[in-house]
Structure 1
Amino acid sequence: MRELHFDLLRLLEDDRRGSHATRRARRFALAQAAETLHGLGYRGLRARGFKGRHVDALVAEWRRQGLSDGTVKNRLAHLRWLARRIGKPGIVRKDNASYGVGSPCGT
């Protein structure tokens, strides 16, 4: 098991908040993010080493894959949860529009 994936599973096990469906979706989204980062060449990454550049790389890859805005927004929400859990809430910007996702005015 890759280091980041292992760290994420440990963080998920320690946090029992949320419904089973929410926790399952979070586990799936974060595992996908870990695999995507590994595929992009970020090997040996640990959860505590997660930085803004990794978020930017993920968003760029998701946009390249043609994922819908809603899917990217949901994945960013899971990354925000991760950032809070590792004590780095500022690495994922609060507004999705700064990543080019969705409309800044909500239309």
Structure 2
Amino acid sequence: MAIEIPISPDYKLTSDTLNIIVNERYFTDPTKAPNWPKKLAENPNADPTPKEKWREVAYHSTVERAVLDVMNRRLRNPGALRSALNAKGRALSTRSIFSESKSKE
């Protein structure tokens, strides 16, 4: 029985008969394809919006290990930490982090 478990907007778990598979979401931009000008010439109404796709990035024997892998991937992603720390919507800098911690004391 195959499973499909969404973990976050960018990761999901699927399975085959032997493995739990970590899938990562990515987007392809058709306008950057080498044949885009030809496609556009043939069909002026060609859709230029990026396409969502999923790629298999890891195989694990248990769901627990697959979830840990997703957590590690999200922590290693440089944008994930910055967006988590920058939840207030302003630019991060060392000065702003230290000034906030001093003002709370």
Compute the TM-score of the two structures, normalised by the length of structure 1.
0.25
Counting strand residues as a fraction of each chain, which structure ranks higher?
2
Of the two, which has the highest radius of gyration? 2
Greater RCO (CA < 8 Å, at least 6 residues apart): 1
Counting helix residues as a fraction of each chain, which structure ranks higher?
1
Compute the TM-score of the two structures, normalised by the length of structure 2.
0.25
